[in-house]
Amino acid sequence: MLSILENSRSIRWLGKQLFNREDPSAFFDPLLSQLDPMMVRQYIPARVIEIFDETADTKTFVLKPATRWPGFGAGQHVNICIEIDGTRHNRTFSLSCSPEQWRQQGTVSLTIKRLPGGRVTNWMHDNLKPGAVLGLGDAFGEFQLPVNPEPLLYIAGGSGITPILSQLESLAGADWRAPVTLLYFVRTQADVIAAEKLYAIQQRWPAFSLNVVTTEDGDTPQYLSDQHLEQVPGVNARRCYLCGPKGLMDLASELLHRRGVTEDRIHSTFFSAPAAALVSDELGGEVRFSRSELTVSSEGDAALLDIAEAARLSPQSGCRMGICHQCSCRKTSGTVINRLTGKASGPGEESIQLCISIPQGPVTVDL
Ligand code: FES
């Protein structure tokens, strides 16, 4: 009798799952992932098909997403979801290939530098192999090309070249007629990422001028200066795209502003969270995660995302640098400092991004 009851309960449960119209993937995905990970529907699976070295610490990962992935614009970012030792991690990377590669070959490339202490980037460098499957989110980001041809200036530093590579390949493919200059700052020649690709673009696209500036090859370190800009014909009339370390981007913006290039003609994106100058002894405080009924204390400039994870909570996250908004969460009381701007929030209820919010005194978060 008991087993008949249990069987009928199981059948009812199975029936409910099968007709769960809100989220059928919650039922089917674990089964499908065992049969073929490319059939999973909760995220768009992408199979790693090739991995190659760009420099000693940077690799390109070529992925083949399932065909339902909607594609991207040159210069956009994407979140990836990857499982490491049974835990899922989300990270944001720039796509380093042109949208044409996706349209024509059905593949996309991520060019990723190993980061000191970077749990995910280092794991990918050391363990990810062709054949593995990871999850791919929709592409996002405002670092995009103008619609009509006009002269462009790119200023990149180190791995800040990745979204720019995507745009340059796209422009070269479309035979963009207006002049395009890239000033690419790297420590040494050996640190030029995608060197072969960049020189090939230069060869086949006459409107493109490539200038690699090595900052540590000579006796005196070289930094971006007005002299570099002077050498770019018609620099003041160019639309400018910047990607690299915060110091380089701040300096580039300042030099361009001084030349009268207006803010709306300067586009920038960054690859790690730039930190505003913060007075750390005014930071930290008691953090209450109200839904989890957990209270912890924090010190210094630790962001709420790190504090939550240290307390063994698993809030959603992606880029960890204030771009993707995946970590957005309700703060119900207390003040936080925005790591990017250095500005304080109001004391009341509002939406915040956990990865760039540093408590200043007691804070309660709906997590
Ligand atoms: S994790 Fe992307 S904005 Fe916070």
What is the share, in percent, of the chain residues with pLDDT greater than 90?
64
Whether 323 lines ligand 1, by a CB cut-off of 6 Å, is: yes
Whether 317 lines ligand 1, by a CB cut-off of 6 Å, is: yes
3-state secondary structure of 343: coil
Phi, psi (degrees; rounded to nearest 5) at 154: -105, 135
What is the Å distance from ligand 1's center to 92 Cα? 9
pLDDT-based confidence at 257, cuts 50/70/90?
Answer: very high
- How many whole angstroms separate alpha carbon 138 and alpha carbon 324? 11
Q: Name the residue among 331, 329, 324 with its Cα closest to residue 362.
A: 331
DSSP assignment of 183-248: EEEESSGGG-TTHHHHHHHHHH-TTEEEEEEESSSSSS-----HHHHHTSTTGGGSEEEEES-HHH
Q: In terms of CATH, what superfamily is 29-140?
A: Translation factors (2.40.30.10)
Q: Say if residue 2's pLDDT is above 50.
A: no
Q: Name the residue among 201, 216, 84 with its Cα closest to residue 158.
A: 216
Q: Does domain 152-269 have CATH number 3.40.630.30?
A: no
- How many whole angstroms separate alpha carbon 197 and alpha carbon 195? 5
- How many whole angstroms separate alpha carbon 81 and alpha carbon 83? 7
Please report the atom of ligand 1 found closest to the CA of residue 322.
3
User: Mean of the pLDDT values across residues 311-327?
Assistant: 84
- How many whole angstroms separate alpha carbon 324 and alpha carbon 318? 6
Q: In terms of CATH, what superfamily is 280-365?
A: Beta-grasp domain (3.10.20.30)
Whether 90 lines ligand 1, by a CB cut-off of 6 Å, is: no
**From the centroid of its chain, how far is CA 101?**
19
Are the beta carbons of 22 and 42 closer than 8 angstroms?
Answer: no
Task: Tell me the pLDDT tens digit for each residue of 14-62.
Answer: 555 444 444 445 455 555 555 555 555 556 899 999 999 999 999 999 9
Task: Tell me the pLDDT tens digit for each residue of 294-304.
Answer: 999 988 888 99
Are the beta carbons of 278 and 338 closer than 8 angstroms?
Answer: no
The domain segmentation of the chain, as residue ranges, is 29-140, 152-269, 280-365
Whether 48 lines ligand 1, by a CB cut-off of 6 Å, is: no
pLDDT of res. 119: 84
Between CA 131 and CA 142, with CA 137 as vertex, the angle to 5 degrees is: 130
